[in-house]
Structure 1
Amino acid sequence: MVGYAPLNTAIAEIRLFVLFPGKDSEPIQGSLRNASLDGRPEFEALSYVWGERDSPRSITLDGEGFHVTPNLYAALCALRRPASSRTLWIDAICIDQHNVDEKNHQVPLMARIYKQASRVTAWLGPSTPRIELAISWLNSSPGPYLDPVAARYWLDLEKRAATSRQGELDRHFDIVKSFAGAIDISDLQYWHRMWTFQEFALPSEEPVCLCGALKFSASALSDTRISSEEAIDRLTISINFLYSVLGPEFTGLPTVPGFNNQALSGGRSGAELMEFRFLPQNFSMVNSTSRKSIINMDETALFLLLSATRGRGCGDSRDRFYALYAMAPEIQEYYPPDYAKPFERVCLETTAFLINIDAESLMFDSFGLRYDRLSSGAYPTWVPDFFQPVMPGMPTQRHYNLFVHHYGKAIPERLCDLEGRPDARVDDSLTTLTIYARNFGPVRTMKFANSSESVIAQVHAILRPGLPIPPWSWAASGEQLKAHALGLSWIAGVPLTDMDHFHDRLLRLIMAIDKTVDSSYPFHTVRAFFDNCLDVADSGDWLGTSFKERLGEQDSDMELVSSITGCASLLVGKTLLATQDWIMGIGMSDIEDGDILVLAPPLPLLLALREVPADADSEGDGTVGYKIAGTAYAYGLMDSYALDLELVEELAGREFQRFTIY
């Protein structure tokens, strides 16, 4: 077992790993030495992902056996020189991973480590033939990693394409395969882990990307070779040529031995390759503009860093936050990294920092509410789910959150006048959040069904009061559903005799959720479509016929059919709600009758709050407390092109009220 020498925290001491020279077949050996960052030692830093830990590999460290992950072992083999040593900083080797106090001390030094390193190497993992082709294509052009062999290969390919049919096929195949390899690079685990985000962003010079034995610039790949118009044209020409020869299925030609879809693009269809410009967000940060903006980011902008790393993974949940500490040093002053704390505490402290210090107020338009917020006592309901990916789960999920970027809506400025309003604040005990919001009153609700087909049938039942409702599982009684809809219309200020008004508001609300429907089709067209759907519902047994086939019999505009069914899918599991102030909205599934609807700008969503019983979470001073039941979108308040100006003006006159949230 390796005996780690103690580190002197007073002089920012770290350990450095000296990788001994050796040939490919020889064991990996090295030694550790302590060095103070204050003395500016010469070293390189390695950025990598740990990878699988089930089958560790053994190296020799100061004469003792030491286990590393297979991915780190492969990196060491690629980094080792045949005749000279190499001094490196590698977290898994240089930090005693079993010493919590040492980890707590080393994490705050990460910024200095990656900024002071003479070079940072980003180990992406072993190469593949497609990746090698992509890198050779990248390095065939002038740049820091120009490869004469690669340049000659692509030049020879161009010459052969000009003189023979086979050469032309080879050229187009290699162009498409190189794009497939570029997408493979963007899909590598390196770009999907938490720690690698700051490790790639912190160095003053862009890290050297190493894939197998090949070096390249990730920003050059992102900036020019993938996203430029020239590259797009190049790929388009090649795919069109291969389509003309191979057919639309891209299945290959018997007359061209060795070529098939798997060899061509690694299982990627031509259509998928044409979407290469829409690279994963985690890889988009490597382009030169994004990386510079991250480097120059306000040091306290932890919220922006958390937003930029949504969807990235980490082995230790606490690293969702600690892996960003080097780029947001202010939070360390309030809540230093401490691996002795449970994740729940770290998450709670981070939320309090974001609200009290980072001045982000409420974050539920960027990070959704936790699905167990009302049932779990581990957190207050105001602590968001920081682990939700950039594109949340399918809308059929019961707890699917409402995100403002799905709808492209915003609260009108008239309702966002914050003059004289205190900021939101978490108390010192980290148990309650105090917000100041405009109260829109209690809501009446109706639940949408759990499938798109059933949702559309529900809408029909409301639009056509005389319709007999099919025996769907979502409604035991059609009359009960219609009565509930009538109740919604009454509480929304619409007389029972004026259901057409209510119908129009409901349809426009549904249209507003799907911008493509709203912008592409006039209201009367959508209303007519629903009527056609209604005729389909009346004409026979829906359960025995494909939904889209049924719709197709009645309406030839299948694009509209697709848009409406897609729109309906966004309503699956949601709640239709209304207040006495003519506010109608769509909210999360947990919102119930009696919850109150409030607006707490600058949050561009409405909150539904549920009063906490007096004997639960009460401060004992008569203060009424609430829990967050869900978020909601309201038609007429959140659409710049369809504002209810009279309603907005009336609501803007309401005073902000104080709410205590548990």
Structure 2
Amino acid sequence: MSRYDYKPLDPSKREFRLLHILPENDATSEDKSSIDPVRCTVSHASLDSAPPYDALSYTWGDPSTQTTIVVDGADFLATPNLEAGLRHLRKKDEIVTLWVDALCINQSDIPEKNFQLKQMREIYVQAKSVIAWLGPSSENSEEAMKWIEDYGGRSHQLKIGSIGGPRLISLLDALDGRDVPTDEAINEEATIFAADLREQLSPANSWHADLITALLKFFKRAYWNRIWIVQELASASNLIFVCGSDTASDNAIYDTLRLLRNFTQYQNLKWNRMVQETQFVKPSGVSLTQINTSRPINLLKFRRATHPAPLIHLMRTFRFFSSTDPRDKVFALLGISRDADVLGLRADYNKTCDQVYADAARRLIHAGYLDILGLVQYPKSVPGLQSWVPDLSRIHYRAPLQQRSLERKGPPGSTRLEPKFFASATKENIVLRRENTMAPDMPLSLHGVRVGKIEQVGLHWENEGGVGRWLHELQRLSQLGSFTDDNDEAVKYRAQAVWRAAVADQEIRQGVRKPRLADEKVHTAWESFKESDLKDVDEKALEDVGLSYYCEWLQTVSKGRRPLLCESSYLGIGPSETEPGDFVFVLLGSDLPFIMRSESDTSEKMQVIGEAYLHGIMDGEVMEKNPEIETIELC
């Protein structure tokens, strides 16, 4: 049988292709067998007058493994996951009409691909439904889907976690006999649900391990990590999740994820109290904490957003997601960002990956989003990237020192960086001159202040004994600095610098805010351990004095970083690649300082190593001294 040959689309008519899956009973008698191939036809339609259709959201899977389906009487090679999805959606006696990217776009025709990409969001918006195909049933997914539709559906009906509804942790605390705020709307039906949920998720029950394992494997499926589904789900007017022969609603999935996240928080708080009060030992084995709820929650949260977000927020939020083509880490987000047109960014598969990443980074920097430099990490796998261009193909990143969050009270779609740092004191300075800055062959020059040279660095973070060693390394460096007086105030200042630098002067997110480290927590740490060698401080010691959340964030922020001492005056933390002889700069318009390195002994050009925290310069102290402003040419 011949290979399928695409007929060209007419861009002037805003044409796109639709796939029609023929009924299962449509095959001729000789084709009826257990391995009857999926048979389809293709038609052209205009977005201005399209017939009813659904759109498929799925993950391609391994492109090197392919299976054959029949399209317009010709063979078409599809990935096994797509073939399985089409087979599951095929009906016995009806034609099913779908839009499927791998089939409806000629992937080898770059001009067509570029044009269809511009229309993709509208294709998903116009679809009757978006069908999120999670793959065939396996690893007890039937139990996971049933539980999701039951408990997630009931949570949605009861509005648990939504504005104006009862909060799960308050309901659970009430069941434990603990006081809850008088303004909480606690009702009998919600309380019964919370009791049932607590029973379901209790480690003491025989079914606990099987249920948690099923949910864990369900939310570890490749679907939840695919960058294109961000746009597909955000654009859907109606969304249904399909796994094998089971279905679950969008709301049931979202509420289940929030139940699991909030119950995990409650469980951690409860266990921490029990450890302190009774020497209780947490149960081992599979745990709710192993379920990564943040990625799918973010996916579905953007679907519910009232206004589109800026590209920088999308890129930072979904930096962990993957794509078959690394250029799609940018292209897949352009259609749902509110400022892609203003930035002058559009999908162009004629460009190489390094060109796509450099163009995106340059335009974001020019728009004032210097936090894109916070995504710079090493090693880089994309050839040709300059130091200031993040390798966006990565799926593993150290935690950023600031989080970019949607601003609920600001202009539609606006965002903020948290916690609030003000290293450059103001954002009103011109970051770049306009002329020629967009030309890809032009050097990128920024303005900033040189704080000083790195004199000492500590050891990299390690999980084994990491908490105590991390604190001890900061304590050791603090005793090498110029603030080595032994009077009480100097000793207390050094201790404060250690405890704040260890967590980059911040706490874990609290509701809609991510605050700086509270003074009372610094005081608690200082009073509790001022007579101790900090290398002996471990997780339990911090939990025993009420600093369990401090310990949690310490372990998050320290990974991929190392302690450092700058000019014998500033204690802080920076990327693990930081070396003695590197420089600290505060860039005009940036909240954070950056570590940079001379390209060579004879060059003034600088390489970006990454963002840093330095105690004593995070609130504009350096800028108060009227320092010299340098022009820094990056390489």
- After superposition, residues 458-469 of structure 1 pair within 5 angstroms as none
Unpaired segments ≥5 residues, structure 2: 26-32, 157-191, 197-201, 272-279, 405-416, 508-516
Partner of 2:161: none
Structure 1 unaligned spans of 5+ = 147-157, 163-168, 241-246, 252-267, 394-400, 465-483, 534-546, 617-623
Match in the other structure for 1:435: 446
2:386 corresponds, among 380, 383, 397, to 380
Q: CA separation of 1:585/1:503 partners in 2, compared to 1, >3 Å: closer, same or farther?
A: farther
- Structure-to-structure mapping, 1:311-460, within 5 angstroms: 311-328=320-337, 331=340, 334-356=344-366, 358-365=367-374, 367=375, 369-372=376-379, 378-389=384-395, 392=397, 403-404=401-402, 409-412=419-422, 415-423=424-432, 426-448=437-459
Assess, with a 3 A threshold, how the Cα gap between structure 1 residues 66 and 227 changes in structure 2: closer, same or farther.
same
- Cα offset for 1:35? 1.7
Give, in whole Å, the separation in 1 of the partners of 2:530 and 2:299: 46
What is residue 229 of structure 2 aligned with on the other side?
196
SS at 1:436 equivalent: strand
Q: Please tell me whether residue 227 in structure 1 is matched to residue 254 in structure 2.
A: no
What does residue 508 of structure 1 align with?
496
Partner-residue secondary structure (3-state), 2:373: coil
Label 1:178 to 1:198 Cα distance change in 2 as closer, same or farther (>3 A). Answer: same
What residue is the counterpart of 1:20 in the other structure?
Answer: 22
SS class of match (1:528) = coil
Quote the Cα distance in structure 2 between the aligned partners of 1:177 and 1:461. Answer: 42
Is 1:114 aligned to 2:124, yes or no? yes
C-alpha distance in 2, partners of 1:454/1:63?
A: 62
Aligned CA distance change for structure 1 residues 191 and 561 (closer, same or farther; 3 Å): closer
Contact conserved, 2:133 with 2:241, CA < 8 A, in 1?
yes
Cα contact 1:59–1:67 (8 A) shared by 2: yes
Deviations 1:347-397, CA, capped at 9 Å, x for gaps:
1111122222x54234234x2x23147x998222211233454x735xxxx
2:617 is equivalent to residue 637 of structure 1: yes
Distance 1:611 1:137, change over 3 A: closer
Q: Is 1:609 the counterpart of 2:621 in the alignment?
A: no
Q: Which amino acid aligns with 2:295?
A: N
Q: Structure 1 residue 281 and structure 2 residue 294: aligned?
A: yes
Q: TM-score, normalised by structure 1?
A: 0.68
Is the Cα contact below 8 Å between 1:310 and 1:388 reproduced in 2?
yes
Name the residue aligned to 2:525.
522
Paired residues of 2:69 and 2:75 also in contact (CA < 8 A): yes
Question: 1:194 and 1:65 mapped to 2: Cα distance?
Answer: 28
- Would the alpha carbon gap of residues 362 and 656 (structure 1) be closer, same or farther in structure 2, given more than 3 Å must change? farther
Classify the secondary structure of the residue corresponding to 2:612. strand
2:220, 2:552 → 1: CA distance? 31
Q: 1:30 offset after TM fit, Å?
A: 1.2
**How many residue pairs are counted as aligned between the two chains?**
538
| Matching residue of 1:481 | none
Structure 1 residues 256-294: Cα deviation after superposition (integer angstroms, max 9, x where no partner): xxxxxxxxxxxx63xx13x48x7432210354x54221x
- Identical counterparts, % of pairs: 23
Matched, 1:309 2:322: no
Q: Distance in 2 between matches of 1:285 and 1:450?
A: 28
Match in the other structure for 2:631: 658
Partner letter of residue 304 of structure 2? K
Question: Which residue does the alignment assign to 2:481?
Answer: 489
CA contact (8 A) 1:380 1:431 kept: no
- Give the stretch that moved more between structures: 65-74 or 333-342: 333-342
Q: Are the equivalent residues in 2 in contact too, given 1:133–1:177 (CA < 8 A)? A: no
Q: How does 1:231-242 map to 2 (within 5 A)?
A: 232=263
Structure 2: distance between partners of 1:119 and 1:327:
18
Encode CA deviations 1:522-549: one digit per residue, 9 max, x unaligned. Answer: 324323221785xxxxxxxxxxxxx989
Task: After TM superposition, give the deviation of residue 183 of structure 1 in Å.
Answer: 4.2
SS at structure 2 position matched to 1:83 = coil
Residue 130 of structure 1, CA deviation: 3.6
Q: Is the 8 A contact 2:151 2:252 kept in 1?
A: no
CA separation of 1:115/1:442 partners in 2, compared to 1, >3 Å: closer, same or farther?
Answer: same
Q: Is the 8 A contact 2:334 2:340 kept in 1?
A: yes
Aligned to 2:145: 135
Shift of 1:80: 0.8
Match of 2:413 in 1: none
Pairwise CA RMSD of aligned residues? 4.8
Describe the superposition over 1:403-447 as per-residue Cα deviations: whole angstroms up to 9, x where unpaired.
33599754248x522345445774523543232323323442344
Which structure shows the higher helix fraction?
A: 1
Distance 2:152 2:526 in 1: 55
C-alpha contact 2:54 2:127 (8 A) present in aligned 1? yes
Instruction: Report Cα offsets for 1:131-154 as digits up to 9, x if no partner.
Output: 32343345458979x9xxxxxxxx
Query: What amino acid maps onto 1:213 in structure 2?
Result: S
Q: Structure 1: which amino acid aligns with 2:218? A: I
2:124 is paired with a residue of what secondary structure?
A: helix
DSSP-derived class of the 1:125 partner = coil
- Taking the aligned partners of 1:586 and 1:200, their CA distance within structure 2 comes to 38
Q: Greater Rg, structure 1 or structure 2?
A: 1
* Paired residue type of 1:194: I
Q: CA deviation at 1:315?
A: 1.1
Cα distance in 2 between the residues matched to 1:110 and 1:461: 51
* Structure-2 separation of matches of 1:402 and 1:637: 18
Shift of 1:116: 1.4
Contact 1:443 1:597 in 2 (8 A): yes
Q: 2:458–2:473: 8 Å Cα contact kept in structure 1?
A: no
Look up the SS of the partner of 2:8 in the other structure: coil
The aligned amino acid for 2:533 is F
1:562-618 CA deviation, whole Å, 9 max, x = no partner?
9889969938862422237x43322234444454322225533211333445865xx
By how many angstroms is 1:105 displaced? 2.1
Rounded Cα–Cα distance in structure 1 between residues aligned with 2:595 and 2:262: 48
TM-score, with structure 2 as normaliser: 0.71
2:75 matched to 1:88?
A: no
